[in-house]
Amino acid sequence: MKKLILLFCSFFLFLVPVNSQNLLTFMKLQPEIVNIKEIPHNPFFNKTYEVMVRQYLDYSDTTKGSFLQRVFVSDKSVKSPVVFITEGYGADYIGNKQYINELSPLLQANRIGVEHRYFGKSVPDPLEWKYMTVENAANDHHRVVQLFKKYYSGKWISTGISKGGFTSLAFRTFFPEDVVGTVAYVGPLNFGVEDGRHEVFLRHVGTRDCRKKIVSFQKEILRRRNEMMPLLKKYAEDKKMNFFMDLNKVLDYSVLEYSFSFWQWGNSCEKIPSVTAADTTLFNYFVKVIGPGYFAYDKNGKKSPFFYQAALEEGYYGYDTRPFKGLLSIKNTRGYLNRYMIPCDYNIKFNRKVDLLVNHYMKKKATNVILIYGGNDPWTASSANIRSKGNNLKIIKLGGCHKTRIANLPEEQKKEVLRLLNNFISL
């Protein structure tokens, strides 16, 4: 009799309309969802769950196997809009109860955040890099959307920041009907493993006096190589860092990276030390702006997937060495990503097919897309362009950096974005 009652109850659950179930009941009934765990949530939401969703390794051949991808589901209301975060990296931050993306309060929306494949807890075992493609990632996102659309009845807006911004645009390119709109923040669209536009951008960004001060600082670090090397060695030992290159090259690449990092994160020219400052003063400031750890061996696998994708499909930037002639120990920086940054012991041939596909979609077919960039952010050099028709908008904040968001836009730009955003939801 007990078995008959349980069987009847299970059958009854499948007859109950999805929207009359609660979220937890719904997720327990989905065979793709496992390891459901309620976690502390931001007070804006009613509940937040961390779950694992079973995804295919290769969507062109689903017999290749599967892996578990981490997804965070923050519930507001079954009928409210859904903000869908296509994270480009690991997603630990989404599980922090203090975190809330800016779109959910603006739209009174639920939030679903997907950790990118091969990052964080979403790593296949065994790890085969050949399945780490933009198209496979887009299919991951498509499956999550289709899964939770069976529960949430509101409009969906996809969004992402930086690499996640590009991920959001790629997802929209492959599955344009999955969401009604997209907000992509500071997301580059590169066309080469060393795209070439960033070096030009850095020669013109900001004021002439600031650029001169940056170059003077970089040169001074290199001129004091003998004094910097013991400091760098101790720094690396204290931080337990290992590198695929010798420390002289680490210093060189860190100096070359400095100007990109400086402008990307909105540093102040007034805080650059004088070239007459003490060695420790120069070094301590230097490692605050660009820590040598950027070039360190990635023992935890947090950066390796990013550099692999950059070398394979998503592209990256190169370095202008001309201002430092005679001061560098390296002769040529071309191909540095393959030599020092990727997790595989072979050269990866860059394939720009996906970037051209995204570019074509943005220029010819995109609808309801908002692009937000910072005017001083070097990634804006390779920003996506969007067609003027189709209810689209591209915003570049004057003087903005990689931290540019709707909340810190000038009032007129903010109003323009909010008007369009609310228009997406009301369509």
* pLDDT-derived band at 327, boundaries 50, 70, 90: very high
Q: Do residues 33 and 53 touch, judged by C-beta distance below 8 A?
A: yes
Torsion angle, alpha carbons of 146, 150, 153, 157, to 10: -20
* pLDDT-derived band at 324, boundaries 50, 70, 90: very high
Mean pLDDT taken over the chain: 94
* pLDDT-derived band at 427, boundaries 50, 70, 90: confident
User: Which one-letter DSSP state was computed for residue 202?
Assistant: H
Taking the complete model, does pTM exceed 0.85, yes or no? yes
- Given this model, what pLDDT does residue 12 score? 43
In the predicted model, what is the mean pLDDT of residues 105-125?
Answer: 97
Answer yes or no: is pLDDT of 391 > 80. yes
**How would you list the strands of the sheet with 47-56, edge to edge?**
33-39, 47-56, 66-75, 110-114, 82-86, 156-161, 181-185, 369-374, 393-397
Q: Which domains does the chain have, with CATH numbers?
A: 17-190+353-426 (3.40.50.1820), 197-341 (no CATH)
Answer yes or no: is pLDDT of 1 > 60. no
